[in-house]
Amino acid sequence: MSNEMQLKYGCNPNQKPSRVYMADGSELPIEVLCGRPGYINLLDALNGWQLVKELKAATGVCAATSFKHVSPAGAAIGRPLSDDLKKIYWVDDLGELTPLASAYARARGADRMSSYGDFIALSDKVDVCTAKMIQREVSDGIIAPDYDPEALEILKSKRKGTYCILKIDPSYKPAPIETKQVYGVSFEQGRNELDINRELLSNVVTENKNIPDDKKDDLLISLITLKYTQSNSVCYVKDGQAIGIGAGQQSRIHCTRLAGQKADNWWLRQSPQVMGLQFVDDIRRADRDNAIDVYIGDEYEDVLREGEWQRIFKVKPAVFTREEKKAWLAKNTGVCLGSDAFFPFGDNIERAKKSGVEFIAEPGGSIRDDNVIETCNKYNIAMAFTGIRLFHH
């Protein structure tokens, strides 16, 4: 390792020269095992590594995240997958999954459209099962603390030997003050070293005070994910994984709607209508994901019209009607929601309820907190005020 790495270019090809380096002269905490990382790759890698490291510390379970454009498309811990989840994540042919493979299947499967071409971060040593799963996905690279020798060789075979593989020193601890420049002006701040733990969930302000332990873990997953998501951001979580992440929206209600739609799509993919789709044998994985996304949306006719459906399906699917979708979505319950800043109005709660939200963690502090709490009470939602904001830019 060295204290400097030259890059091909910055965010865009015209932004040259480009490099990453350690200003104090120390060695970089990352080692390139294969490929050549780019500027955005490294932003994704370093943010993603922090996320999974904190998820592992908070839950005691290995973790994975799928990053795109400096925000996570998915994040999860390594809980076992049901048969239905294995099927909708396209991993039902891989046999018994290791916990780390389960974590990445969940992280990748939450929003497969957004995860296409992702940068992966894993909290633990990469095993062969996880490497085989990654081998067949379209991905730009991976960062992890270590790799099994066979797993490393599998990953090195991706993209004709150019797949970006990074090894990070898990003991690395950055300086407490961080700096960056914008338009030639230097910014300096203390690093966000906030420890996100269950104590942050102790101030339950609603009439319903009951937040079970497994839901507390899900709320911690949402908050840690938000800590590394471009703001404004909200995160829906269920059973140990993010199912809808809304990032970078100027309006919080738009963020809640965006993430809620992603959570709805995740649930709709588990419906009998989608599980029963019969795809042609030679369809590409990305085309299959896109077809499902269109089929469950308002523009379903794009994949059902004559001459098009034959290219995708063996048998023409019936229309997934609005009424059928509404009935299926009503079965999604026990969802947790985190927000990186306070909800200013109860309309966010109204939208969250439509996606099965029953538990919420947000900072509190709005002049309309009473309206937000009242809306939660209307639906028997338990909400904790954490007292902390998690903006990330």
Nearest CA among 66, 63, 97, 59 for reference residue 78: 63
Question: Between the CA of residue 317 and those of 89, 276, 304, 326, 377, what are the distances in Å?
Answer: 20, 9, 7, 18, 41
Find out whether 299 and 291 touch, Cβ atoms under 8 Å: no
Instruction: State mean pLDDT over 274-293.
Output: 95
Instruction: Report the C-alpha gap between 327 and 321 in whole angstroms.
Output: 10
Q: Where are the beta strands (DSSP E) in the chain?
A: 4-7, 18-21, 30-34, 63-68, 71-77, 118-122, 139-144, 164-168, 177-182, 185-190, 233-238, 241-247, 335-339, 357-362, 382-385
The model's pLDDT over 214-273, given as tens digits with 9 standing for 90+, comes to 999 999 999 999 999 999 999 999 999 999 999 999 999 999 999 999 999 999 999 999
pTM beyond cutoff 0.85: yes
Check if 68 is active-site.
Answer: yes
Q: Which entry of 68, 216, 227, 353 is annotated as an active-site residue?
A: 68
Q: Which entry of 53, 69, 125, 132 is annotated as an active-site residue?
A: 69
Q: Which entry of 41, 47, 232, 348 is annotated as an active-site residue?
A: 232
The model's pLDDT over 187-212, given as tens digits with 9 standing for 90+, comes to 999 999 999 999 999 999 999 999 99
Instruction: Report the C-alpha gap between 175 and 179 in whole angstroms.
Output: 10
Instruction: State mean pLDDT over 132-153.
Output: 97
Find out whether 139 and 119 touch, Cβ atoms under 8 Å: yes
Return the minimum-mean-pLDDT range out of 1-15, 120-134, 292-306, 354-368: 1-15
Q: Which entry of 14, 160, 173, 393 is annotated as an active-site residue?
A: 393
Check if 254 is active-site.
Answer: no
